Amino acid sequence: MTLELRNVTVRTRGTISPVSLKNLDIRIEKRDRVALLAPPNSGLDLLVDVICGRDAPESGRVIRGSSISWPIPNKSFFHKHQTFVANARFIARLYEVDQNTFISRVLEMAELAEIAEERVDHCPAKAASRFAFALGACLPFDIYLFTSTNVGEKEDREKYGEIIAGMGARSGLLIATSSGKAAQSYCEKAFVLDPAGAVYYDDIDEAIEHLQRISKRAEEAAEEELLPAEEDRVFDDF
Amino acid sequence: MLEDLKTQFNVLKALTIHNLQGQMSSYKYGFAWMLLEPVIYIVGFRLMRQFFGNLAPPSGMTPLMFYILGVLPLYLTFAGIRGFSVGASQSALLAFPRVTPVDLTLAAALTSFCIYFVLFWIVVLPVSLYEHVWPPENILKVMLGLIAAWMLGVAFSFSISGAFRVFPPVKQFVSYLSFGLRVASGMFFCITMVPILVWPYLSWNPLLHVTELMRDGWFESYVSPIASPTLVMEWIMGLLLLGLSIERFMRRVPYL
């Protein structure tokens, strides 16, 4: 029961500065709590798409031997003109679970009972964020895939943090993030997505150090790219 | 195996209902717009007949039903064809690991079938009663025509969605093709209204066979000299085989 990426290469397309991640070999067991760490805009979203099957890799294979969630808390599939209940019903149908039980669990976890029959676009974004989280958290998966662990308002963070930790105790967690803090809170292992390939760490702190190093390098490279453009502009103005 | 089939069925059901709920959500009057477009066509053809006598249907076929049986099956086909962009685009729903592009294309096709099937009977029932041509001579033939029209659209959409993914301007060619098919598929004529000389050329078009099947099945007085369910099935099978083969190849290709 694993999720495995064998020699996977992904590359962004249709962008001015393409990003590629090459020769990724990643294996995640059922109860692993693993972070995928990469600096911002370095192809992590693309890798998440490949993991959940939304996109195909340039080369290599993705083997899903376990049930894996969609990227939580993804909200892009919501029908915003519909109510929270109608959106939850769609997920219940899709994952073949009892609708009433699922909906009541989701509403309870997201604390939305009072506005359950309101249109999603008429409600605060934080409510939608809690709802998106609860939709995934109330379903049984072997591996939960997270793209953000910041759910709801600041005062809700502790509650949802405990829920994520609970999910990690009974199933696998895969947190794709650029934030070392989120990885440190929930994960015990990490893969750092270096341009040279995925580097595996047993020690999460070492992984975070590596992430900070490559993030700094990426920032410096971005600044260097910007500098000539600035000079050109001054020259053009002159 | 049965469990997998049940899951597949439930995924399609969930996606179809999701599509139906999202249909026309940006328009104030929702489904009213879906009804409006074919009705405008039917009324337009009916008015043209007032001015051009030679557009009159052969004896025994009532004018409004004649146009309805030409227009609505073609709408079903074109709605199916439009599904090509669904399969070719990177939908947000693909983030669910159990949803594949084939599921999305099939769900889009089922959505259009639900809409136009209901629309067909909503329009046909009162009009056929008004024109005294109810009930149809052979309702099975009419149903076969409707399902064949839909399946042709779905099969065609599978065939072109692969090309659309790697070469988006294909969309433009599809709109030219749709225009050509609208004109040549018996929307406002039946085969006995055109010179016998051109029958061999026109009868290559499977959509013309579909409209002929519909009119043959509905009117007692009309027996189509060309309608062939076998030819329509051959087209469907051929296009499906081609389309699904392309899809199988394209699922390994990253989106642009």
Domain ranges of chain B: 2-250
Residue written as tokens 């590596």? Answer: A210
Q: What is the mean pLDDT of chain B?
A: 88
What pLDDT is recorded for position A112? 93
Mean of the pLDDT values across residues A190-214? 90
| CA-closest candidate to residue A132, choices A143, A148, A119, A154 | A148
Q: Do the Cβ atoms of B105 and B158 come closer than 8 Å?
A: yes
Cα–Cα distance, A82 to A32 (Å, whole number): 36
Q: At what angle are helices B229-250 and B139-166 packed, to 10 degrees?
A: 30
Q: Which of A12-16, A160-164, B182-186 has the highest mean pLDDT?
A: A160-164
**Partners of residue A57 in chain B, C-beta under 8 Å:** 254
What is the C-alpha end-to-end distance of chain A, expressed in Å?
A: 64
- Partner residue facing A13 (CB), from B10, B97, B254: B254
User: pLDDT at position A36, please?
Assistant: 94
Q: What pLDDT does A43 receive?
A: 86
Residues of A in contact with B95 (CB under 8 A): 49, 52, 54, 70-71, 74, 76-77
Q: What is the CA radius of gyration of chain B?
A: 19
Give pLDDT tens digits for A102-135.
Answer: 999 999 999 999 999 999 999 998 999 999 999 9
- Which residue among A11, A64, A77 places its CB closest to the CB of B93? A77
| Residue B1 pLDDT level (bands cut at 50, 70, 90) | confident
CA distance A216 to chain B (A): 30
For chain B, give the percent of residues with pLDDT over 90: 52
Q: What confidence score (pLDDT) does residue B26 get?
A: 58
Judged against a pLDDT cut of 50, whether residue A238 lies above it is answered with no
Q: In this structure, are residues B36 and B29 in contact, taking their beta carbons and an 8 Å threshold?
A: no
State the Rg of chain A over Cα.
Answer: 20
Taking CA–CA distances from A67, the nearest residue in chain B reads: B97
Which of the residues A8, A61, A70, A76 would you substitute to probe the B interface, choosing the one with the greatest number of B C-beta atoms within 10 Å?
Answer: A70
| pTM score, whole prediction | 0.88
Query: Which H or E run includes A106?
Result: helix A99-110
Residue A232: is its pLDDT beyond 60? no
As a whole number, the mean pLDDT across chain A is 88
CATH code for the part of the protein at A1-69+142-152+167-225: 3.40.50.300
Print burial letters for B79-115: b (CB count within 10 Å at least 16), e (below 16): bbbbbbbbbbbebebbbbbbbbbbbbbbbbbbbbbeb
Long-range contacts of B176-180 (CB under 8 A, 24+ apart): B178/B78, B178/B81
Better-scored residue on pLDDT, A190 or B50 = A190
- State the pLDDT at residue A195: 76
Task: Flag if A54 and B95 touch (Cβ within 8 Å).
Answer: yes
Give ipTM to 2 decimals: 0.88
> Could you give the CA distance from residue B181 to residue B190 in angstroms, rounded to a whole number?
14
- The torsion angles phi and psi of A2, rounded to 5 degrees, stand at -135, 170
pLDDT by residue (tens digit) across B203-222? 999 999 999 999 999 999 99
Which of A81, A90, A95 faces B25 most closely, judged by CB atoms? A81
Q: What is the per-residue pLDDT for A228?
A: 57
> At residue A208, does pLDDT exceed 80?
yes
Query: Using CB atoms, which residue from B7, B14, B254 is nearest to A56?
Result: B254
Q: How many CB atoms lie within 10 A of CB B176?
A: 9
